[in-house]
Amino acid sequence: MVDNAVNIVGNLTDDPELRYTQNGTPVANMRVAVNRRIRNNQTGEWEDRTDGFFNVTVWRDMAENVAESLHRGTRVMLSGRLTQRSFETQQGEQRTVVEIEADEVCPSLRWATAQITKTGGRRGGSAPAAAPAAAPAADQPAQSSPAASSQTEPDDVPF
């Protein structure tokens, strides 16, 4: 059971900002505006209501993917967890912020389309090249059914 889970859908207010820590770890920061459309019963008109602006932090390979793929105005869906951190301003004041540390980020396909391209990241890796199909032995008939002759790689599963 996850006690600290957050899921939001909203629009990026700016392009994600990609930086690197001192040891070279990629980190992207972005701000997501979450709005709702509500029908005003008195006027019959739709009204936009802002639920809030949320700071989101994305780490490692996903940070680089987010910075390359998403831009200001993109509608995104993300899940993660709330984190709290404290820091000191240049004036010496102590500040505390609550942010979302994202575990998953994706474009919303409600009003857009997307083309997915695998990256060479640590976990996903790029899809291996399909090995050439072996020719049937001379004494065995060639298989004629499409299902029997297709060579499906684990990363090429059709679902």
| Per-residue pLDDT tens over the stretch 57-107 | 999 999 999 999 999 999 999 999 999 999 999 999 999 999 999 999 999
> Under a CB-based contact definition with an 8 Å cutoff, are residues 4 and 82 in contact?
yes
- Please name each of the domains of the chain with its CATH number: 6-123 (2.40.50.140)
Looking at residue 72, its pLDDT comes to: 97
Task: Give the list of residues 6+ apart from residue 50 with CB closer than 8 angstroms, or none.
Answer: 33, 34, 35
Alpha carbons 134 and 151: distance in angstroms, whole number:
10
Give ∠ CA 37-41-44 in degrees, rounded to 5. Answer: 75
Task: Name the pTM for this structure.
Answer: 0.68
For residue 145, list its beta bridge partners.
none
**1-42 pLDDT tens trace:** 668 999 999 999 999 999 999 999 999 999 999 988 889 999
> Under a CB-based contact definition with an 8 Å cutoff, are residues 19 and 29 in contact?
yes
